């Protein structure tokens, strides 16, 4: 693959290749010297039109660990505010001789649109409610690290599925890798895409949804993408779908708890669970750097990997 737009349609072979490279980079991240020369001489622009803490920082660190030159672009202090279009923004940045663009945008399909209008390698860092492929890859890496394999594992995703690019990328990627995905959440926040729903089990009863799970992924309510009419009260949501000690009594003893962040503590996830023995949330964040190193390395052609 030349670009990474999403995990829908990406083969098991290609996901395996990314995860195996990420495992090698994960080991490098434990060394005193964490830098490898793989992307030396290449320039990566992080083009973020939406807010981000984990993804932007993680991509920047991954680029630096690979010895790339990195430039961070935030739309809030750019000429986008003066009316410059997306394509003009990209073409001007490209004229400065860059190689890879990592883009986050509220519009579904923006990474593909940019790839159609430039010669750069494009990596999707989240496009609207469509896909967030590197988040799903780091989630898959974390499950393999903690549970050994994805094959045959039951993964339950609870929350605002309808507006979640994380849920979409995870269900495409995990089902390709042989995991079984169950979705659970308020009936108003079920995805409308029936094709997508054909690949998963929908379980409205949260106790049943967690009973067989090897991994539970909690998602926040994405107010920024939702009509107020769809938004449940926070108290009602926590009482019905929140991950609490009481709910975990219905789950397996060794279940792992995941969250892509940012967490709304006390809504989708109680603090004692987020910080408790089942939580692998900060492992996900660490794995994010390794996964992004692997994606950038492979898209750049897998050159100069003598130290990987
Ligand atoms: N998981 C994730 O995408 O977090 P950020 O929005 O902070 O990048």
Interval 271-280: pLDDT, tens: 999 999 999 9
Count how many domains the chain has.
Answer: 2
Q: Is 156 annotated as a binding residue?
A: no
pLDDT, average across residues 104-128: 96
Structural contact between residues 303 and 66, judged by C-beta atoms closer than 8 angstroms = no
> What pLDDT shows up at residue 306?
45
Structural contact between residues 66 and 38, judged by C-beta atoms closer than 8 angstroms = yes
Q: Is 37 annotated as a binding residue?
A: no
Residue 67 has pLDDT above 50, yes or no: yes
Same domain for 144 and 254, yes or no, is yes
Q: What is the band of 304 on the pLDDT scale with cuts at 50, 70, 90?
A: very low
> What pLDDT shows up at residue 307?
42
Same domain for 159 and 258, yes or no, is yes
209 lies in some domain: yes
261 lines ligand 1 (CB under 6 A): yes
307 lies in some domain: no
Q: Tokens 């991954």 appear where?
A: 62
Which residues, in sequence order, are CB contacts of 215 under 8 Å at separation 6+? 143, 146, 147, 153, 154, 155, 156, 255, 256, 257, 258
Q: What is the chain written as a DSSP string? A: --SB--STT--HHHHHHHHHHHHHHHHHTTSSS----TTTT-EEEEEESS--SHHHHHHHHHHHHTT-EEEEEEGGGSGGGGT--HHHHHHHHHTTT--EEEEEESSTTHHHHHHHT-SSEEEEEEETTTB-HHHHHHHHHHHHHHHS-STT-EEEEES--TT-HHHHHHHHHHHHTT-EEEEE--GGGS-S-HHHHTTSEE---HHHHHHT-SEEEE----GGGS-GGGPPPHHHHHHHH-B-HHHHTTS-TT-EEE--S---BTTTB-HHHHTSTTB-HHHHHHHHHHHHHHHHHHHTTS-S-TT-
Same domain for 251 and 113, yes or no, is no
Q: What is the pTM of this model?
A: 0.95
Structural contact between residues 39 and 68, judged by C-beta atoms closer than 8 angstroms = yes
What's the CATH number where 268 sits? 3.40.50.1370
Decide if the complex's ipTM is over 0.90: yes
Residue nearest to atom 5 of ligand 1 (CA): 52
Q: Residue 119: give the domain boundaries.
A: 12-130+286-299
Measured CA to CA, the distance from residue 44 to residue 161 in angstroms comes to 31
Same domain for 117 and 228, yes or no, is no
* Lowest pLDDT segment from 123-127, 205-209, 231-235: 231-235
Separation of 306 CA from ligand 1 center, angstroms?
31
Same domain for 260 and 152, yes or no, is yes
135 lines ligand 1 (CB under 6 A): yes
Q: Is 254 annotated as a binding residue?
A: no
53 lines ligand 1 (CB under 6 A): yes
Tokens of 282: 């900060």
Q: Is 265 annotated as a binding residue?
A: no
212 lies in some domain: yes
Q: Tell me: the pLDDT tens digits for 161-170?
A: 999 999 999 9
170 lines ligand 1 (CB under 6 A): no
Residue 178 has pLDDT above 50, yes or no: yes
52 lines ligand 1 (CB under 6 A): yes
185: left (phi over 0), alpha (psi -120 to 50) or beta: left
Separation of 163 CA from ligand 1 center, angstroms?
14
Same domain for 274 and 139, yes or no, is yes
> What pLDDT shows up at residue 225?
81
Tokens of 110: 């923006």
Same domain for 265 and 156, yes or no, is yes
Same domain for 291 and 268, yes or no, is no
Average pLDDT value over all residues in the chain:
93
Same domain for 222 and 292, yes or no, is no
48 lies in some domain: yes
Q: Tokens 């860092």 appear where?
A: 125
pLDDT, average across residues 177-196: 88
176 lines ligand 1 (CB under 6 A): no
1 lies in some domain: no
Structural contact between residues 162 and 38, judged by C-beta atoms closer than 8 angstroms = no
Separation of 232 CA from ligand 1 center, angstroms?
22
Separation of 84 CA from ligand 1 center, angstroms?
26
Query: Which of the two residues, 188 and 193, has the higher pLDDT score?
Result: 188
């Amino acid at each position: 693959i030349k670009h990474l737009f999403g995990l829908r349609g990406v083969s098991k072979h290609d996901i395996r290749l990314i995860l195996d490279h990420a495992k090698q980079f994960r080991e490098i991240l434990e060394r005193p010297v964490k830098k490898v020369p793989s992307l030396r001489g290449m320039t990566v622009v992080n083009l973020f039109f939406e807010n981000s803490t984990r993804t932007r920082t993680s991509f920047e660190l991954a680029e630096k660990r690979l010895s790339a030159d990195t430039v961070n672009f935030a739309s809030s202090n750019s000429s986008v505010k003066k009316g410059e279009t997306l394509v003009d923004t990209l073409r001007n940045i490209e004229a400065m001789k860059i190689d890879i663009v990592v883009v986050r945008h509220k519009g579904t399909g923006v990474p593909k649109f940019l790839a159609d209008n430039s010669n750069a390698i494009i990596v999707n860092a989240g496009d609207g409610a469509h896909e967030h492929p590197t988040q799903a890859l780091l989630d898959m890496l974390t499950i393999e690290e903690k549970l050994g394999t994805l094959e045959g594992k039951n993964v339950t995703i609870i929350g605002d599925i309808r507006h979640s690019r994380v849920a979409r990328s995870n269900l495409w990627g995990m089902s390709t890798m042989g995991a079984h995905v169950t979705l659970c959440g308020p009936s108003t926040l079920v995805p409308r895409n029936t094709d997508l729903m054909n690949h998963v089990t929908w379980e409205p009863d949260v106790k049943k949804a967690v009973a067989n799970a090897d991994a539970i992924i909690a998602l926040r309510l994405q107010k920024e993408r939702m009509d107020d009419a769809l938004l449940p009260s926070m108290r009602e949501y926590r009482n019905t779908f929140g991950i609490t000690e009481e709910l975990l009594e219905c789950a397996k003893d060794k279940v792992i708890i995941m969250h892509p962040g940012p967490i709304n503590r006390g809504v989708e996830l109680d603090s004692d669970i987020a910080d408790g023995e089942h939580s692998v949330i900060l492992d996900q964040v660490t794995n994010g750097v390794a996964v992004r190193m692997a994606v950038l390395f492979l898209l750049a052609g897998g050159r100069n990997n003598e130290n990987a």
